[in-house]
Amino acid sequence: MSNLRLWPAFSSQIIAIVSENASAQSPISESWITNLLAQLYPLCRSITGDGTRATLDILARECGLTMHEVSTGSAVLDWRIPDEWSLRRAVLSGPSGIIADTVSSNLHIVGYSEPCHGDFDLHTLSRHLHSLPDQPTLIPYRTSYYARTWGFCLAHDTLSALGPGKYAVDIDTVLAPGALSYGELLVPGRKREEVLVSTHVCHPALANDNLTGIVATLALADWAAAETREYSYRFLFVPATIGAIAWLAANRDTVERIRHGLVLTGLGDGAPLSYKRSRRGDAAIDRLMSHLLVGKGLILDWSPYGYDERQFCSPGFDLPVGRLSRAPHGTYPEYHTSADNLSFVDAAQVTAAIDLILTAFDAIEAGLVPRSLAPYGEPQLGRRGLFRSVGGALDEGSREYALLWLLSLADGDHDLVDVAERSGLPLADVLTSARLLRTAGLLA
Ligand code: ZN
């Protein structure tokens, strides 16, 4: 944690709120989110290259993460690190001027386009043009990581207006041996057991699918470092698929320590939160997140398609890692198009997601399976200042009611989700009561 350099205002805000309010509340200001999104948005990220490195540099200034580089050609599990790709600029012009220029949007270039300079007729060029006929004003996001080609992405309205003539292609990219970069931050806690949070960092000018996961992960890193936590927290900022695979290949021993994990992406759109269960389906994180989203969000069962939960949950690793998003990928019209821009995301939606995650982390920190240290008869709460002095019917929402539920289920076989579900009390109230009982020496 010594390398962690927090924004002063940011960290002191966190400490103040954590100490005064037992239930998790995100201290992250919406303007901090908005500013960071705006800084990151123009960078031309990919699975490798300068745009991704520049992104990690900005994150490193915020949280002091370590940047790892894995050389082109390195074997990582069943994969090999590809050549590194960076965009300088790509311009397509035609008889009546510039048609696409990555200065205005880096979505215009197909990711991993090889360099190309030359003149083409429209017929030949059209094999290299991509558009969305059903969304004719939007630029699609396309990549070709493993098959060498080049291409431009255009609004279909622009593409269909192109007439015969000579078109100049000027793609100034670098595609050559180099390295894959990823960021990692371990915040040690009292235990060596870890909570893993991972997000992908390989999408260019797309705000929801990529950047909101990055800022939420960064905010959680700041929370983890604000005071010494029970668990150690590991944060990964990795290119999708190949980056997660590269990390797993280098961390066969580390994965043994991961007790809970989340993949974060797409947290800023207008949809309710959705949680995709780990492959196990019954991990503690699955129980927690499913409970927190009852009536408020969507619970999805495991499927082998999606983000890096596919790698963390592959049978050889089988980690207890679920995924939190809002609208699931591919289900909203802005997905992987130029409409997934800064105005599409709402910082308040990101902070609401962070709040929910922090409630889950609070439960993990509190010890998910409480055990009463005074299980023989009810302990005398009044003597400890935990029960009101005037008798009468107990209000079902009261603190005393929560204390009784906790004590009655704290047999080591029931977890905090059981207590919340059986009592009908919010998990945050159960957590507050667990802290009171622990302070009073009644709960292990
Ligand atoms: Zn995506």
Strand spans (E) along 150-302 = 152-153, 166-176, 179-187, 194-200, 232-238, 258-264, 274-276, 298-300
Model confidence at 279: pLDDT above 80: yes
Structural domain ending residue among the three candidates 121, 147, 176: 176
Q: How far is CA 66 from CA 61, 75, 229, 315, 420, in A?
A: 11, 21, 20, 28, 39
CA distance 62 to 65: 8
**Beta-ladder partners of 306:** none
User: Structural domain tally of the chain?
Assistant: 3
What CATH number does residue 267 fall under? 3.40.630.10
CA distance 113 to 247: 25
The secondary structure of residue 108, as a DSSP letter, is G
Q: How far is the CA of 162 from the centre of ligand 1 (A)?
A: 29
Q: How far is the CA of 44 from the centre of ligand 1 (A)?
A: 14
Residue 311 CB partners (closer than 8 Å, separation 6+): 241, 244, 245, 248, 317
DSSP per position, 1-19: -TT----HHHHHHHHHHHH
What band does 246 get if pLDDT is binned at 50, 70 and 90? very high
Q: How far is the CA of 141 from the centre of ligand 1 (A)?
A: 9
Over residues 205-232, the mean pLDDT reads 96
Q: Has residue 5 been placed in a domain?
A: no
What ranges in 1-119 are assigned the alpha helix state H? 8-20, 30-40, 50-63
C-beta separation of 354 from 220 below 8 A: yes
CA distance 350 to 271: 11
Over residues 96-112, the mean pLDDT reads 97
Range of lowest pLDDT (16-20, 182-186, 299-303, 343-347): 16-20
Together in a domain, 354 and 399: no
Residue 398 CB partners (closer than 8 Å, separation 6+): none
Together in a domain, 92 and 156: yes
Over residues 110-131, the mean pLDDT reads 98
Together in a domain, 406 and 352: no
- What's residue 29's pLDDT? 86
* Better pLDDT: 69 or 381: 69
Q: Has residue 6 been placed in a domain?
A: no
Q: Has residue 313 been placed in a domain?
A: yes
Together in a domain, 297 and 396: no
Q: How far is the CA of 284 from the centre of ligand 1 (A)?
A: 27
pLDDT tens for residues 168-203?
A: 999 999 999 999 999 999 999 999 999 999 999 999
Q: Has residue 14 been placed in a domain?
A: no
Together in a domain, 102 and 207: no
pLDDT tens for residues 290-336?
A: 999 999 999 999 999 999 999 999 999 999 999 999 999 999 999 99
The parent domain of residue 122 ranges over 85-176
C-beta separation of 172 from 233 below 8 A: no
Together in a domain, 326 and 361: yes
Q: Has residue 4 been placed in a domain?
A: no
Q: How far is the CA of 181 from the centre of ligand 1 (A)?
A: 18
Together in a domain, 142 and 254: no
What band does 400 get if pLDDT is binned at 50, 70 and 90? confident
Together in a domain, 134 and 63: no
Model confidence at 9: pLDDT above 60: no
CA distance 164 to 278: 52
- Angle between helix axes 213-226 and 50-63 (nearest 10 degrees) is 30
What ranges in 367-426 are assigned the alpha helix state H? 399-409, 416-423
Residue 326 CB partners (closer than 8 Å, separation 6+): 208, 266, 267, 268, 269, 270, 271, 272, 273, 274, 349, 353
CA distance 56 to 115: 25
Q: How far is the CA of 285 from the centre of ligand 1 (A)?
A: 24
Q: How far is the CA of 39 from the centre of ligand 1 (A)?
A: 19
What CATH number does residue 111 fall under? 3.50.30.90
Over residues 146-170, the mean pLDDT reads 97
Together in a domain, 352 and 251: yes
Q: How far is the CA of 425 from the centre of ligand 1 (A)?
A: 37
Q: Report the percentage of the chain scoring pLDDT > 70.
A: 92
